């Protein structure tokens, strides 16, 4: 049985591979699905098997999986193009006869009615229709969605969004990676769904106050309309179609769709989730 991580050189996938090795899984039992050997060269040097495949080229996926593999299927990054890509991965996993297909979806699953969730919901249905043993890891927001973009916040002294007073139960990317490691290496996760989020939901006003406290600079939350936020994003160089998606997510936050704190994440990783303050401190370094 191999433990397979797709998108293994991406930000989440790489953390999962590192987590598997840190947990004592022999490198020879870990396979990394990557687009090129060059990208995965450092993993190969540590004994991790590389399997070269691209979601967008279905023919390459026929050698990505083996019978009995336990697979973490990290969702693709090309929003708007993911349905055929994801279907190709599911088809390849079914044909190979994998023992488990764990998929990284979005918090709320069918209840997530914002555009960014649409492809995740269709992918979950495809996995169910495949008949494969599955685990749905419905990831909430990452702290890093905010803390990796602190430069303009500090420059302008403002967190700008159209999320109103909505709250966000985010966690660190490393927390979500640890949950995936727990599922790949543990037992009893077949045909289960986990709603993964941080232990504490926070508002953007609280986030701005935390950034101000740690940075020593004046930072406030500026709540704007969807149209105003769209203009700000496009003005900052975000392509208009993706700005549409970000504005839509903010609206969903305002409706409370990313605020749920079910506790699944902390239970899977066996510890509290990483506080937002820690992520802010790390980013400010």
Q: What is the pLDDT of residue 78?
A: 87
| Mean pLDDT over the full length of the chain | 97
Q: What is the pLDDT of residue 172?
A: 98
What is the Cα–Cα distance from 203 to 227, expressed in whole angstroms? 21
What is the Cα–Cα distance from 77 to 37, expressed in whole angstroms? 20
255 is written with which tokens? 């409706």
Q: What is the pLDDT of residue 259?
A: 98
Domain 3-140+172-196+261-275 architecture? 3-Layer(aba) Sandwich (3.40)
- Whether the CA torsion 10, 13, 16, 20 is positive or negative: it is negative
What is the Cα–Cα distance from 201 to 168, expressed in whole angstroms? 5
What is the Cα–Cα distance from 249 to 107, expressed in whole angstroms? 12
Quickly state the pLDDT bin for 137 (edges 50, 70, 90): very high
For residue 63, is pLDDT > 80? yes
Cβ contact 281:190 at 8 Å: no
For residue 80, is pLDDT > 90? no
Cβ contact 93:65 at 8 Å: yes
For residue 1, is pLDDT > 80? no
| DSSP one-letter string for the chain | --EEEESTTSHHHHHHHHHHHHTT--GGGEEEEES-TTTTHHHHTTTPEEEE-BTTBGGGGGGT--TT-EEEEPPPS-TTSHHHHHHHHHHHHHHHT-SEEEEEEETTGGG--SGGGHHHHHHHHHHHHHT--EEEEEE--BTHHHHTTHHHHHHHTEEEES-TT-EE--B-HHHHHHHHHHHHHSSS-TTEEEEE--SS-EEHHHHHHHHHHHH-S--EEEE--HHHHHHHHHHTT--HHHHHHHHHHHHHHHTTTT----SHHHHHHTSPPPPHHHHHHHHH-
Tell me the per-residue pLDDT of 156-188, one tens digit each, with 9 for 90 and over: 999 999 999 999 999 999 999 999 999 999 999
136 is written with which tokens? 């749905």
Measured in residues, the chain has a length of 285
Domain ranges in the chain are: 3-140+172-196+261-275
For residue 77, is pLDDT > 90? no
216 contact partners, CB below 8 Å, separation of at least 6:
none
For residue 125, is pLDDT > 90? yes
Cβ contact 182:125 at 8 Å: no
**Cβ density class 82-105: b for 16+ within 10 Å, e for less:** beebbbbbbebbbebebbbbbbbb
For residue 81, is pLDDT > 90? no
For residue 260, is pLDDT > 90? yes
What is the Cα–Cα distance from 211 to 219, expressed in whole angstroms? 7
């Amino acid at each position: 049985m191999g433990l397979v991580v797709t998108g293994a050189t991406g930000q989440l996938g790489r953390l999962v591979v590192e987590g598997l090795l840190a947990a004592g899984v022999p490198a020879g039992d870990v396979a990394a699905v990557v687009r090129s050997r060059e990208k995965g060269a450092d993993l190969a040097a540590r004994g991790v098997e590389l399997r070269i495949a691209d979601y967008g080229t279905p023919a390459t996926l026929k050698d990505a999986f083996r019978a009995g593999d336990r697979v973490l299927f990290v969702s693709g990054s090309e929003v708007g193009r993911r349905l055929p890509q994801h279907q190709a991965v599911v088809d390849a996993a079914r044909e190979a006869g994998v023992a488990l297909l764990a998929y990284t979806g979005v918090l709320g699953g069918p209840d997530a009615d914002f555009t960014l969730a649409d492809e995740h919901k269709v992918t979950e249905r495809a996995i169910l229709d495949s008949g494969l043993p599955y685990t749905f890891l419905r990831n909430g927001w990452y702290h890093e969605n905010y803390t990796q973009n602190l430069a303009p916040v500090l420059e302008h002294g403002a967190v700008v969004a159209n999320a109103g007073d909505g709250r966000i139960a985010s966690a660190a990317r490393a927390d979500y990676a640890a949950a995936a490691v727990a599922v790949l290496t543990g037992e009893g996760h077949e045909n289960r769904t986990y709603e993964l989020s941080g232990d504490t939901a926070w508002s953007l006003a609280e986030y701005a106050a935390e950034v101000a406290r740690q940075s020593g600079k004046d930072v406030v939350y500026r709540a704007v309309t969807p149209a105003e936020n769209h203009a700000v994003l496009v003005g900052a160089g975000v392509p208009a179609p993706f700005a549409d998606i970000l504005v839509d997510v903010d609206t969903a936050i305002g409706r409370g769709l990313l605020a749920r704190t079910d506790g699944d994440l902390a239970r899977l990783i066996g510890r509290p989730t990483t506080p937002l303050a820690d992520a802010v401190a790390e980013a400010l370094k």
